[in-house]
Amino acid sequence: MRNLSLSTLGPLAALILLIVLGASLNDNFLSAANITNVLARSAFIGMIAVGMTFVITSGGLDLSVGSMAAFVAGMVILAMNALQPQLGVGLPLALIGIGTALAVGLLAGLANGLLVTRVGIEPFIVTLGTMGIFRSLVTWLADGGTLSLDFAMREYIGPIYYGGIFGISWPIITFALVVVIGEIAMRHTRFGRYAEAIGSNDKVARYSAVRVERIRLMTYVFLGLLVGLATILYVPRLGSASGSTGLLWELEAIAAVIIGGTALKGGFGRVWGTVVGVLILSLIGNILNLANLVSPYLNGAIQGVIIVLAVVLQRKKTSAEGR
């Protein structure tokens, strides 16, 4: 396939190296349980990173997604706890939770998008601002502590995270679906094409009758929705949200996108690459936990080295091109 250029092959090679490394360090690395764990925990950041791919591709940025996830989770828990007396534990309440997550995610994304497109503030500033706002709000709602879903309801929705079908857990299935949809949207729909065009040169896009502001807005809304979706999977896992939920997810999501070969300046989006980036980041953590290589204090250093190395292969080319 023509899209599988060097820029995706680089990180893919890094991913394969990591897998080989993991397998050689620990026999359980390739066990179904470990693979399921890694994939399922990648799902949150993964879905968000797919949305982030569109935002970055069209020349934007969103620093607020981690806080947004915490805020959405908080709202979901509040809504479900509030309605449980009337609705009882069951499907209707679960659907309320799902609806809340998507609605709040969408609105949060819309807020970011409108500030960027209508008010015309730099995405970095807008989302730095909303990052503080969302995180503050959830801390405030939780009175500084943790918002916890009622225990019975948590048990009821637990299978959304832990359950699955054909031995594949729901987070993995959802993530896979999001990736496929994202890939199709990027490669085979107008939305993706426009996002790339806007990121490449928004003036040209405007002169080509592309509704630049609308597409930009849509990328933020889409990302917000995906944050909502990620939260739907997140809440059943531990049934709680606090000021520390989703901490630094934004950095991880952006890093995954960039490692995957999407240009930070916009214009080129690689959904598959993003998936590879997310898996690389998850695997680094997993391998560090599985193998006692060094002092745990140095985990961050090893992580840093691998991230840089993962990109070296692919970037060699770009730098050569540059001169």
With beta carbons less than 8 A apart as the criterion, state whether 169 and 163 touch. yes
CA distance 278 to 178: 14
CA distance 29 to 23: 5
CA atoms within 13 A on the CB side of 92: 7
Strand partners, 148: 240
Q: Does 205 bind another protein (CB under 8 A)?
A: yes
Selected binder of another protein within 16, 28, 118, 152 (CB under 8 A): 28
Least CB distance to another protein at residue 125 (A): 19
Q: Does 165 bind another protein (CB under 8 A)?
A: no
CA distance 138 to 74: 6
CA distance 51 to 64: 13
Nearest to 307 by CA among 271, 259, 272: 259
199 binds, among its own copies, another protein, none (CB under 5 to 8 A by kind): another protein
Q: Does 133 bind another protein (CB under 8 A)?
A: no
268 binds, among another protein, its own copies, none (CB under 5 to 8 A by kind): another protein
Q: Does 33 bind another protein (CB under 8 A)?
A: yes
Sign of the alpha-carbon dihedral angle for 237, 131, 133, 230: negative
Selected binder of another protein within 3, 81, 84, 146 (CB under 8 A): 146
The residue to which tokens 């502001």 are assigned: 213
Least CB distance to its own copies at residue 254 (A): 7
Candidate ranges 28-36, 79-87, 112-120, 220-228; the one touching another protein (CB under 8 A):
28-36
The residue to which tokens 């054909």 are assigned: 166
Least CB distance to another protein at residue 20 (A): 16
The residue to which tokens 């479900």 are assigned: 80
Give residues in contact with its own copies (CB under 8 A).
63, 115, 118-122, 124-126, 128-133, 135-137, 139-140, 143-144, 202, 206, 213, 243, 251, 254-255, 258-259, 264-265, 295, 297-305, 307-308, 311-312, 315-316, 318-320, 322-323
Q: Does 248 bind another protein (CB under 8 A)?
A: yes
With beta carbons less than 8 A apart as the criterion, state whether 126 and 112 touch. yes
DSSP letter for 267, please.
S
Selected binder of another protein within 8, 67, 139, 314 (CB under 8 A): 139
CA distance 160 to 187: 30
Selected binder of another protein within 1, 119, 165, 209 (CB under 8 A): 209
Q: Does 316 bind another protein (CB under 8 A)?
A: no
Least CB distance to another protein at residue 224 (A): 20
CA distance 189 to 254: 23
Q: Does 19 bind another protein (CB under 8 A)?
A: no
End-to-end CA distance of the chain: 28
Q: Return residues touching another protein (CB under 8 A).
A: 2, 26, 28-29, 31, 33-34, 37, 41, 44, 139, 142-146, 148, 151, 154, 158, 162, 184, 187-190, 193-194, 196-197, 199-201, 203-211, 234, 237-240, 242-248, 263, 267-268, 285-286, 289-290, 292, 295-297, 299
